[in-house]
């Protein structure tokens, strides 16, 4: 299952470190090349020799213990990893990672690593629920770190509560699922729109909305990480745009329409997370509009509904719209799905705390023609995006036998 994959296993100092031995052994049995970094505290719970024997590689503890003069070890380990797995991950290591501290071999390597990170926390329940730990995990979650939740049961400190390291079998399964998801959308072309359109009425002023682009960006990232080739059409955004995809910047709904249409024929999936203006000023002044009377009346005209236009021209593309609602969420969302001929509609109640515009989390209800498909709790936008893209991947027409065997 894990042949050809290089996993950097970070073992940190908690009693659950003993389970890292079994985890390491199972990863190696699945075909992974496993390199282990231990913290000094981890080495008090389990010997490096155990991990060396099971991983069949030197175990790294000290940043300055450079065994191979040809490389800088922490950079080399970071660069070679397809995945970084922290198990067990202590509150201290999570805090260091969240705040960019690099004071030992593991934290230094983590700072240098660009590979995805999966962390399996294990600690006392009060440490796990401490606001600092919660905030650190939220921050890491927003940066794309995935977590394998600890289990509930007898903790070494005597409590019966949440905080036990997930079992090695569960962690290996999660790692397998992670690698499998990397090819879920291989060969698919995905177009994502994000941000709020800007409708100018003079050279320095425009009508826009609160969209930060975070939701659309998370969707584009999730599609990219599932192997798709992604075009991101982004209007006005405040969040940093992701890399590893074609990025097309637009201002107005009209420009977004043109860019979306020009890529529509080659697209397999289109996700319209952008908040597009429904109306735009009829007149766009060439020079800055001067203050005159006490009131100003501006006439607006309807814009083209991009999603509805794509829905009309649909020839096998899988079309997904978003619905930002403040009332009668399900009813409005279903209405939009039908009117715009989309395959799914993702409704967010933008009056809900932790959902909608500008925040890092969302809580969505996903509908198809038959009604509610999935209601997701408040999750990071990245997690929401991954769930959505997995749902879409499941609904794509299955490959034919010939294609599948290629």
Q: Is 276 in the site for ligand PMT (CB under 6 A)?
A: yes
Q: Is 231 in the site for ligand PMT (CB under 6 A)?
A: no
Q: Is 306 in the site for ligand PMT (CB under 6 A)?
A: yes
Residue of 319, 370, 329 lying closest to 350 (CA atoms) = 329
Token pair listed for 147 = 């977590």
> Cα dihedral sign for 90, 94, 97, 100?
negative
Q: Is 380 in the site for ligand PMT (CB under 6 A)?
A: no
DSSP assignments along 166-211, one per residue? PPHHHHHHHHHHHHHHTTTTTT-EEEEEESB--EEEETTEEE--S-
In angstroms, give the least distance from the CB of 376 to ligand PMT.
12
Residue number with CB closer to ligand PMT (186 or 351):
351
- The most distant pair of C-alpha atoms in the chain lies apart, rounded to whole Å, by 82
In angstroms, give the least distance from the CB of 158 to ligand PMT.
43
Catalytic site residues? 157
Q: Is 272 in the site for ligand PMT (CB under 6 A)?
A: yes
In angstroms, give the least distance from the CB of 221 to ligand PMT.
12
Q: Is 264 in the site for ligand PMT (CB under 6 A)?
A: no
Residue number with CB closer to ligand PMT (87 or 324):
324
Q: Which of 108, 109, 133, 348 binds ligand PMT (CB under 6 A)?
A: 348
Q: Which stretch binds ligand PMT (CB under 6 A): 51-59, 147-155, 219-227, 351-359?
A: 351-359
Q: Is 301 in the site for ligand PMT (CB under 6 A)?
A: no
In angstroms, give the least distance from the CB of 361 to ligand PMT.
10
Residue number with CB closer to ligand PMT (202 or 360):
360
**Residue labelled with tokens 């991009």:** 306
**Burial profile 18-56: b = 16 or more Cβ within 10 angstroms, e = fewer:** ebbbebbbbbbebebbbbbbbbebbbebbebebbbebbe
Burial zone of 161 (CB within 10 Å; 0-12 exposed, 13-18 middle, 19+ buried): middle
Q: Is 211 in the site for ligand PMT (CB under 6 A)?
A: yes
Q: Is 307 in the site for ligand PMT (CB under 6 A)?
A: yes
Q: Is 361 in the site for ligand PMT (CB under 6 A)?
A: no
What lies within 8 Å, CB to CB, of 76 at 6+ separation is 68
User: At residue 324, what are phi and psi to the nearest 5 degrees?
Assistant: -95, 110
Token pair listed for 76 = 């080399």
Q: Which of 200, 357, 387, 391 binds ligand PMT (CB under 6 A)?
A: 357
**Residue labelled with tokens 């009309």:** 312
Token pair listed for 248 = 């097309």
Q: Is 13 in the site for ligand PMT (CB under 6 A)?
A: no
Size of the site for ligand PMT (CB under 6 A): 27
Site residues (vs ligand PMT, CB under 6 A): 211-216, 253, 272-276, 278, 303, 305-307, 321-324, 336, 348, 350, 356-358
């Amino acid at each position: 299952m894990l042949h050809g994959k290089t996993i950097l296993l970070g073992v940190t100092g908690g009693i659950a470190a003993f389970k890292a031995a079994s985890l390491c052994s199972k990863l190696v049995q699945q075909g992974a090349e496993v390199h282990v970094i231990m913290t000094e505290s981890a080495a008090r719970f389990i010997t490096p020799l155990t991990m060396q024997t099971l991983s069949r590689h030197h175990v790294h503890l000290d940043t300055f213990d450079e065994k191979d003069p040809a490389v800088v070890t922490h950079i080399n380990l970071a660069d070679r990893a397809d995945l970084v797995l922290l198990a067990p991950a202590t509150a201290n290591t999570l805090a260091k990672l969240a705040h960019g501290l690099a004071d030992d071999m593991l934290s230094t390597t983590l700072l240098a690593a660009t590979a995805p990170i999966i962390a399996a926390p294990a600690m006392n329940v009060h440490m796990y629920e401490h606001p600092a730990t919660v905030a650190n995990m939220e921050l890491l979650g927003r940066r794309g770190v995935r977590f394998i939740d600890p289990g509930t049961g007898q903790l070494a400190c005597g409590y019966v509560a949440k905080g036990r390291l997930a079992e090695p079998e569960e962690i290996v399964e999660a790692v397998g699922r992670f690698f499998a998801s990397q090819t879920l959308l291989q060969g698919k072309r995905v177009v994502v729109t994000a941000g709020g359109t800007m409708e100018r009425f003079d050279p320095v002023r425009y009508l826009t909305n609160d969209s930060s682009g975070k939701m659309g960006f998370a969707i584009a990232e999730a599609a990219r990480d599932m192997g798709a080739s992604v075009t991101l059409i982004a209007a006005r955004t405040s969040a940093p745009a992701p890399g590893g995809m074609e990025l097309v910047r637009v201002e107005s709904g009209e420009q977004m329409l043109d860019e979306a249409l020009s890529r529509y024929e080659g697209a397999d999936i289109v996700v319209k997370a952008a908040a597009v203006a429904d109306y735009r000023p009829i007149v766009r002044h060439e020079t800055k509009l001067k203050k005159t009377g006490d009131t100003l009346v501006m006439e607006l005209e309807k814009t083209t509904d991009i999603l509805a236009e794509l829905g009309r021209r649909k020839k096998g593309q899988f079309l997904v719209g978003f619905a930002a609602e403040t009332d009668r969420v399900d009813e409005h969302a279903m209405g939009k799905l039908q009117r715009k001929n989309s395959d799914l509609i993702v409704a967010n109640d933008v009056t809900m705390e932790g959902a909608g515009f500008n925040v890092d989390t969302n809580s969505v209800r996903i509908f198809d023609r038959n009604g509610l498909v999935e209601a997701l709790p408040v999750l990071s936008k990245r997690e929401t995006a991954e769930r959505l893209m997995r749902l879409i991947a499941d609904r794509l027409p299955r490959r034919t036998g010939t294609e599948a065997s290629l």
